Structure 1
Amino acid sequence: MIYTVTFNPSLDYIVSVDDFTTGKVNRTTKELIYAGGKGINVSIVLKNLGYDSTALGFVAGFTGKEISRLLSEKGISTDFVKVTNGISRINVKIRSDRESEINGQGPAIDKDSIDKLFEQLDHLKAGDVLVLAGSIPNVMPSTMYSDIMAFLKGRNIRIVVDATQDLLLNVLEYKPFLIKPNNHELGEIFGVELKTREEVVPYAKKMQEKGAVNVLVSMAGEGAVLVTEEGAVYMAEAPKGKLKNSVGAGDSMVAGFIAGYLQSEDYAEAFKTAVCTGSASAFSEELATREEVEQLLSAHKFNL
C-alpha cells in the first residue's frame, strides 16, 4: 500500500485576473479550486497513473471537509486526523501578468492529533511506501520527519522524502528509499550553485554517503538526474513542451517514480516515468494524466 503525508493540506483557490492592480477592485476571468499540498498532489497523480494510495495528514473546519470531499470525488482514499482548533488553510494564487500567492496558516495541531497520526503510521507493513512531502507547520515539532522515520525504523517500509535543507538532512541517517531535492535545494545544502546535470551528480552522491538510498534531482527545464543504490547514474533532458503550470511538477515526478518502480522494479524505467510525469504536469493546467504521461514516454528520446 502507498501512503502520503501532508501536514498542512490546503484548498488552492486559483484566480485569473486581467491586469491585476493593487488598491482597486479586480474582477476574475477564471476561477479554480483544488485540494492542495505536496503529499496530496502525489496521491492525485498516483491515482491518475492507476495506483491507489491513502492520504494522511491533518484537516480542520469546513475547508478540511471540502478537501476530503474533493479527494473522495477523485476516488482517493483519505484518513485525515480531524483537528478541532482552526480551519485548513486556503491558498490564493493570482494569475495575471505576474503570478502572486497568498498562503494561509492552517489549524493549530496539538499533541493528541500528532499521536493519532503515529497510531495510523503504526499500521504500516513491510513493503509499504510512505511519502513525506512538504514543509512542517510551525505549530508542530520541527523534527516530525525524523521522528516518523525513527518510529518506523527497521520495518522495511520504503520511505520517500521530498523536503528541503535541514528537514531533508535530518532524515538521511534513517536511509530513506528516495529523496527528491531540486538542483537549487541541493546546491543550498552544500553552498554551491548547480546549473548542469553533470554538476549535480557528485552532490547527489554526497547525499547517498549521508544515507539516502536513491537520489532523484529535478532541474525544471534542464531535465533531471538519478543516482541509484546500485551505483548507476541516469541523466535526461527535459521533454519539449510549453510550460503552463509549474505547481505540482516536482510532486508529479515523485509519483511517476513510485509508479514506474512499482510497475517495473527497474530504476531506469522509474526514472523515465518520473521525468515524463513531472513534465506532463508542467505542460498542463492540472496534474498529469496517464494519457499525457504515455504520450511523452513515447515521444521523448532517452539516452540512458
Structure 2
Amino acid sequence: MIYTVTLNPSVDYLMEMDQLLEGSLNRSRTENYFPGGKGINVSRILRRLDTESTALGFTGGFTGEFIKEFLRKEGVKTKFANVNGTSRINVKVLTDTETELNANGPVIEREDTEGLLSMINEMTSSDILVFAGSVPSSMPNDFYRQMSQIASEKGVKLVIDAEKKLLQPVLEYHPFLLKPNHHELGDFYGVKIESVEDAVHYGKKLLSEGVSYLIVSMAEKGALLFHEDRVFYANSPKGTLISSVGAGDSMVAGFLSAVSKNLPIEEAFRWGAAAGTATAFSMGLADEQDIKSLLDQIEIKELIEE
C-alpha cells in the first residue's frame, strides 16, 4: 500500500482574474475549490491512475469534513486524525502570475502526533510512505525525522518531497525517492542551478547521500532521473502553463503508480513526467486522459558521460 502524509491539509480556493489590484475590489472570472496539500495531491493523482493509496494526516472543523468527503467521493481512502480547530483555507489567485495566501491551520497536539506515529509503526516492508510539504509550527521541528526513523525500522520505502531543513536530517534513513525541483536542489548546496549540466552535477552529489531514486524537475527545461550510476533526461512537452500548483506532486504520483505496476524505470519516469506536465497545463490536477495524451510526446534519453 502507498500511504501519503499531509500534516497540514487545506481547502484550496482558486480564483482566476484579469488583474489583482492591491487595496481595491477585485472580481474573479472563475472559481474552484478542492482539497489541498502535497500528500493529498499525490493520492488524488494515484487514484486517477488506478493506483490505491491511503491519505494520512490531520483534519479539523467544517473544512476538514469537506476534505474527507471530497476525497471519499473521488475514491481516495483516508485515515485522517480529527483535531481541535479548523483545517486551513488557502487562496490562490491566478492572473498573469500566481499569488498565494496561505493560512496557518489548526494546532496539532502531542497525542495527535503520537497517533500518526503509531500508524506508521504498523506498516511493513511492502509499503511506500510519502512525506510531502511543510510541518505546522505547532509540531516538533524534527517530526519528519521521527516518522522516518520508525518507517526505516519497519523497512518501509520512504518518498520525500520537502525543503532542505526537513530533508537533510532524514537522509541517513536512505529514502527510496526524493523529488526536489532545481531551485530546491540548488538551495541544498547553496548554489544557483541554471542548466541541465548543473543539475546533473549536484543531483549526483545528493544521490550519493544514500538515495535510491532522485527526480529533479526543471520546469520548461525538462526533468532528470538519477538511479545508481545512471542518469535519464525527459524533455518538457510544448503547451500552455496554466498553474504549477500540484505539478511536482503529480510527477511523484505518476512515477510511483508505474513503479507499483512493475514498469521499467524509464517508463516510470515517462509517466511521472507526463503527470507533472499535464497538471501544469491544467486548472487543478490533471485527469487520466490528460496524462496519457502526453506520454508519446515525452522522450526519455539516458545521459552517458564521455
Is TM (by shorter chain) over 0.5?
yes
User: What secondary structure, in the 3-state scheme, does the structure 1 residue paired with 2:148 have?
Assistant: helix
Distance between the aligned counterparts of 1:284 and 1:66, measured in 2? 23
Corresponding residue of 2:102 = 103
Tell me the amino acid that sits aligned with residue 49 of structure 1: L
Answer yes or no: is 1:42 the counterpart of 2:42.
yes
Q: How does 1:276-295 map to 2 (within 5 A)?
A: 276-295=274-293
Alpha-carbon contact 2:159-2:178 (below 8 Å) kept: yes
Structure 1 counterpart SS, 2:30: strand
Instruction: Tell me the amino acid that sits aligned with residue 201 of structure 1.
Output: V
- 1:28 is paired with a residue whose SS is coil
Residue 211 of structure 1 aligns to a residue in which SS? coil
- Aligned partner of 2:160 in structure 1 is 161
Alignment-derived partner of residue 224 in structure 2: 225
Distance 1:122 1:19 in 2: 49
Is the CA contact 1:43–1:54 (under 8 Å) kept in the aligned structure 2?
yes
Q: Which residue of 2 aligns with 1:140?
A: 139
**For the Cα contact (< 8 Å) 1:253–1:278, is it kept in 2?**
yes
What is the identity, as a one-letter code, of the residue corresponding to 2:269? F
What 5-or-longer segments of structure 1 have no aligned partner? Answer: none
Aligned position for 1:152: 151
Aligned length, in residue pairs: 302
Distance 2:231 2:179 in 1: 15
CA contact (8 A) 1:11 1:90 kept: yes
Structure 2 counterparts to residues 211-250 of structure 1, below 5 A: 211-229=210-228, 231-250=229-248
Counterparts of residues 199-218 of structure 1 (less than 5 Å): 199-218=198-217
Secondary structure at the counterpart of residue 91 of structure 1? strand
Q: CA deviation at 1:32?
A: 0.6
Letter paired with 1:252:
S
Distance apart, 1:265 and its partner CA: 4.4
Task: Provide the aligned C-alpha RMSD in A.
Answer: 1.3
Shift of 1:109: 0.1
Task: Report the alpha carbon displacement of residue 242 of structure 1 after superposing the two structures with TM.
Answer: 1.1
1:246-273 CA-to-partner distances (Å, cap 9, x unmatched) read 1000000000110121223422111111
Aligned to 1:75: 75
Q: Percent identity?
A: 44
TM-score (norm 1): 0.96
Residue range with higher mean Cα deviation, 14-23 or 169-178: 14-23
Question: In the alignment, is the contact (CA less than 8 A) between 1:228 and 1:267 conserved in 2?
Answer: no
Structure 2 residue runs without a partner (length 5+):
none
